[in-house]
Amino acid sequence: MKKNLLKKEIRNLLGLFVLIFAAVFSAVSILNSSKTIGNNQNLIFVNPDVNPDAHDKCVQTNQPDSIFISKINIAAPLIFPDESESPDFEEALEKGVIVHPLSSSPDKTGVVMILGHSAPLGWPKIKYDWVFSDLNNLAMGDRVSVFYQGCQYSYQVSSKYFLEKGESLPEDLGDSESVLVLISCWPPGKDSRRIAIVAEAE
């Protein structure tokens, strides 16, 4: 039953994948960083029927809200734009990586969608516009840690996708009830395609 609800949420969330990134990454790409994104209030990503308490694998920590990926030497703050207003994704992406305001959160069942910039090889590491440049180096089994509200949540990479514009991720992203999806432009620094790393809660 819970798995069917998760699939329904994934369908709701990822079926609108191209709408999110047509707005977000066209607006805040490295090559056109002066634009801002419009309001996406009519997009619905979270299935209210999903059990909000199902992801209970909290390891207590004093780390601030952040993401850590040892394999590619990434540590970046998690930024949570306010969903009650038109969020400024451009400004938020300068401070870290975005947890999309209409996706789930790490302490709940569902899909946690995290967006981050990428940049070409040799780009200076300024304002986190490089943070997801090396997502392609992640492989099955690699660990991603998310620190959120005093808890550490651990995920293992299970799949990788390269998507054309207009192409969606599959509905069934794995067996876990909590799924992490890391998204950036592909190739790094360009807005022609998307790379998506899927990781399942351990």
Q: Please report, for the domain that includes residue 80, its CATH number.
A: 2.40.260.10
Containing structural domain, residue 142: 2-41+53-201
Residue 67 in domain? yes
Q: Are 100 and 115 in contact (CB under 8 A)?
A: yes
Phi, psi angles (nearest 5°) of residue 27? -80, -30
Residue 48 in domain? no
pLDDT of residue 131: 94
19-44 pLDDT, tens digit per residue, is: 344 434 433 332 232 222 222 322 23
Residue 201 in this model has a pLDDT that exceeds 60: yes
The domain total for the chain is 1
39-71 pLDDT, tens digit per residue, is: 232 223 344 344 455 456 889 999 999 999 999
Residue 174 in this model has a pLDDT that exceeds 70: yes
Q: Which has the higher per-residue pLDDT, 14 or 95?
A: 95
> pTM of the full predicted structure?
0.75
Q: Which has the higher per-residue pLDDT, 49 or 186?
A: 186
Band of pLDDT at residue 114, cut at 50, 70 and 90: very high
